[in-house]
Amino acid sequence: MIVPKHGLLCAARLRRQVPGVTRVIIARTDGIALYDDVPLEQRDGGAALTAAVLGLGETASSSLDLGTLQFGITMSAERCLVVYPIDGSHLLAIIAEVNVDLGALGAAGHHEVETLRSLSGVSMASL
């Protein structure tokens, strides 16, 4: 079972491993936040928006016969958002500076997703 403490640990590891990470969100796919490392007054909508981004990515992957979504990246002029499905009910979203090393971010994010999947009892093979 994924709990808020797992988000705190995940965010700390990501920030330590990848310079430029500015926010980490662990949410349910229905848009409810389990963990968000910004102050409470900045949290409105983060979980809901990342759940929507994940849902759109999964729909696009399915509709375009791309296979199972591994992660989705949204780039803006100043930041990037990477959203990973953890299991059928949870997601990991990472916001980072636009100049972040995407290879390092991808590897660290994938590792964190595998860690979170083990906590939720889901393996990659079962997705």
Which is higher by pLDDT, 35 or 119? Answer: 35
Q: Is the pLDDT of residue 3 over 90?
A: no
**Confidence category of residue 112, pLDDT binned at 50, 70, 90:** very high
**Phi then psi dihedrals of residue 78, to 5 deg:** -120, -25
pLDDT digits (tens, 9 = 90+) for 45-84: 999 999 999 999 999 999 999 999 999 999 999 999 999 9
Nearest to 18 by CA among 82, 109, 125: 109
Whole-number Å distance between alpha carbons of 88 and 41 = 28
Closest CA to 71 of 61, 63, 79: 61
Give the ranges where 1-127 is alpha helix by DSSP (H): 4-17, 46-63, 102-120
- 103 pLDDT more than 70: yes
126: pLDDT strictly greater than 60: no
